[in-house]
Amino acid sequence: MTGVGRRSTAGQRRIDVDGRALDAAFAVVWDHLVDGGSDARAPVGRVDALFCFGSRDRTVPSHAAALWARGLAPLVVVAGGGPADDGPVDRDRREADVFAADLVARGVPRSAVVVERASRHTGENVVAGMASLAGVADVRSLLSVSWPLAARRCRATFARHHPELVVRSAPAIDGDRRWPRTERTVRAALGELDRLRDYVALGYLVAPPPPGDVLAAADLLRPTSSPVARVA
């Protein structure tokens, strides 16, 4: 019995160490993708506009409204032509419409919200969203507001299409809280990391390659993102 107990304890210790290593690896990849860690989650300094990327993540307009309330920008751009999914089917209602309504409900004046509702992907979000500002404001600096894991990709899209702009990431994160490491969040993070690599190669983005520690962390996580993987 004693021998069995020792083996069980040793095995549990190995699993715990593996789990801690994977948690640390996920944190490295997460911090890279959210594009600045805690600094990106608590941006300071006034800019010309906030730019919200359309998605199904309703924390994006909530976060943008909070940033606007802090006086960080006079305008909020919402870009997204994907179909809305917030209630009864309405063929004409778009992600940007949902975000705009949410912003107004949270205290942002409708006159301060610029709506772009035709774009279908991140590149179009940037191109069409900035075009919608023509004649409204002379924008030279932005806070890019997106769901967390897309933050770096969104800023890299601005670097491709509008390199003259000063853009900082302000991902919609609850305080300084990272998402927990789960099979689903690992897959999402690795998917974003791969998307960055592929889109840079295709010329859709401008971004430097990930640092070595990020690539090493991703390599450690990849075996755990399989549907059949079981990790601590």
**pLDDT tens over the chain, length 232 residues:** 444 444 444 444 444 448 899 999 999 999 999 987 444 445 568 999 999 999 888 899 999 999 999 999 999 999 999 887 755 556 678 999 999 999 999 999 999 999 999 999 999 999 999 999 988 999 999 999 999 999 999 999 999 999 999 999 999 987 668 899 999 999 999 999 999 999 999 999 999 999 999 999 999 999 987 653 333 3
In this structure, the answer to whether residues 113 and 196 fall within a common structural domain is: no
In this structure, the answer to whether residues 141 and 210 fall within a common structural domain is: no
- Round to whole Å and give the CA distance between 122 and 30: 20
In this structure, the answer to whether residues 45 and 103 fall within a common structural domain is: yes
Q: Is 94 among the domain residues? A: yes
In this structure, the answer to whether residues 105 and 164 fall within a common structural domain is: yes
pLDDT at 128: 97
Would you put residue 146 in left (φ > 0), alpha (ψ -120 to 50) or beta? Answer: beta
pLDDT at 5: 43
Q: Is 174 among the domain residues? A: no
- Please give the tally of structural domains in the chain: 2
pLDDT at 225: 72
Query: Which pTM was predicted?
Result: 0.84
In this structure, the answer to whether residues 76 and 154 fall within a common structural domain is: yes
pLDDT at 55: 87
CATH of the domain at 158: 3.40.50.620
Q: Which residues contact 128 (CB under 8 A, 6 or more apart)?
A: 79, 116, 118, 119
In this structure, the answer to whether residues 83 and 46 fall within a common structural domain is: yes
In this structure, the answer to whether residues 129 and 155 fall within a common structural domain is: yes
Host domain of residue 211: 179-232
